[in-house]
Amino acid sequence: MIDMKKLLKVTTLAGTLAFSSSLPGYAQETYQSWLDGFRQSAAKAGISEKTLDATLTGLEPNKRVLELDRRQPEFSLTFWKYLNNSISETRIQRGRELLKEHAALFNEVHQKYGVQPRFLVAFWGLETNFGDYTGVFPLIQSLTTLAHDERRREFFTTQLMTALEIMDRGDIPYDVKASWAGAMGYCQFMPTTYKAYAVDGDRDGKRNMWESLPDVFHSAANFLSQSGWQAGETWGREVKLPKGFNLDLTGLGTKKNLTEWAKLGVKNIDGKGLPTADMQASLILPAGYKGPAFLVYENFRTILDWNRSNFYAIAVGHLADRLVWKGPLQTPQVKETPLSRAQVLMIQDRLNKEGFDVGKPDGIAGSRTRKAIKAFQKKVGVPADGYPSVDLLKLLK
């Protein structure tokens, strides 16, 4: 839970200029001047004067929102740390109870959209701990702060305008609270996602993502369904790789059906053969070749449309499995040393010097950096899993 005492405000024009100059990239145009211009644009777009008066009067930028937007964690979470933080016995047990308590609603949603109940509960649990933490930041203040900022102005201006449209039609109140970035309700929809996919599941004329569970789960399932969810299929499975497996075949860029993976020696984690099903799958190693391996299906990719993180998508899928009494992962957990941002910067800098282009070092091990790591690993003759680690840093040194 975010400490409300840390929500800092800037109360004067001088204060606004003071903190804007201390944050790189912050717009030099004063907040109020920008807000006046935005209000004119919103009025031309059809937002009523009533809504504009209620939402844009007396606003001040929120310094805490900008700090969170620029936050770069000093140490990144390792796979096992992320998974253990996301999935606890308490969360599993509560999710099972909620599955049972709302079975009739979940079955109704399942019949209409094809999304299995366990996945809806898993999203609910990971996003807001089943509705416990939906955000404490005033939505419009956060969005105006971020839209005024130059770093992602276009994106947040669109979110702000959409939020005003939603308020203008009466779906959500003017003073609604959200995450610092504007994610709303039990499943943390951004305003544009809400506008495109939210559903009035209880048919009361509104789409209430905070208090109406029919609205929440019809909306979440509608988003997943329209994003490509495959009814009747799961997300993926933990697998065992044969010795000497070709790591070039790992990553979401490679797709093979289960029969092809079986011919390459990939087995279920218990040593049994893969199921005989005409399903395309990719093989991913979220913690490198020493960690667990997963064959992931189309529904895994759909989960990534919700959140572009392999860690997150695995957590959703695994939590969904645990809710229906499947066991924990079988690959033994190992103690991992998280890399600091400075260490990732060092890896990127040394890869560039070795001729493996990562672009401008930024301390974030994205796809370009992982591709360069894999090329370097191949050159020096170590397993080419593309995984940034302390061992890799030592090798580069």
In degrees and rounded to multiples of 5, residue 89 shows phi and psi of -60, -35
75 CB neighbour count, 10 Å cutoff: 13
Measured CA distances, 366 to 50, 345, 369 (Å): 45, 12, 5
pLDDT value for 27: 54
For domain 4-71+135-183, which CATH number applies: 3.10.180.10, 3.30.465.10, 1.10.8.350, 1.10.3720.10?
A: 1.10.8.350
Report which of 182, 130, 146, 128 is spatially closest to residue 62, judged by C-alpha positions: 146
pLDDT value for 15: 36
pLDDT at 72 over 80: no
pLDDT value for 278: 85
Structure token digits, residue 21: 């100059």
What integer is the mean pLDDT of 134-138? 97
DSSP secondary structure letters along 268-313 = ETTSPPPP----EEEEE-TT-TTS-EEEE-HHHHHHHHH---HHHH
The tens digit of pLDDT for each residue in 20-35 reads: 434 544 555 799 999 9
What integer is the mean pLDDT of 243-268? 95
What integer is the mean pLDDT of 281-287? 97
pLDDT at 196 over 90: yes
Q: Give the confidence band of 1 by pLDDT, cuts at 50, 70, 90.
A: very low
The tens digit of pLDDT for each residue in 148-182 reads: 999 899 999 999 999 999 999 999 999 999 999 99
Tokens 């935005």 sit at which residue? 38
pLDDT at 146 over 60: yes
pLDDT value for 166: 96
pLDDT at 18 over 90: no
Q: Give the confidence band of 71 by pLDDT, cuts at 50, 70, 90.
A: confident
Where are the CATH 1.10.8.350 domain residues in the chain?
4-71+135-183
Output the CA torsion 354→360→361→364 (10° steps). Answer: -120
DSSP secondary structure letter of residue 252: E
pLDDT at 355 over 50: yes
What integer is the mean pLDDT of 137-158? 96
Instruction: Return d(Cα 394, Cα 151) in angstroms, integer.
Output: 35
Instruction: Return d(Cα 386, Cα 384) in angstroms, integer.
Output: 6
pLDDT higher at 362 or 181: 181
What integer is the mean pLDDT of 192-207? 96
pLDDT at 48 over 60: yes
Output the CA torsion 152→154→159→160 (10° steps). Answer: 100
Give yes or no for a contact between 171 and 189, defined as CB atoms under 8 angstroms apart.
no
DSSP secondary structure letters along 71-92 = ---SBPPPHHHHHHHH--HHHH
pLDDT value for 28: 57
Average pLDDT of every residue of the chain: 91
Q: Give the confidence band of 397 by pLDDT, cuts at 50, 70, 90.
A: confident
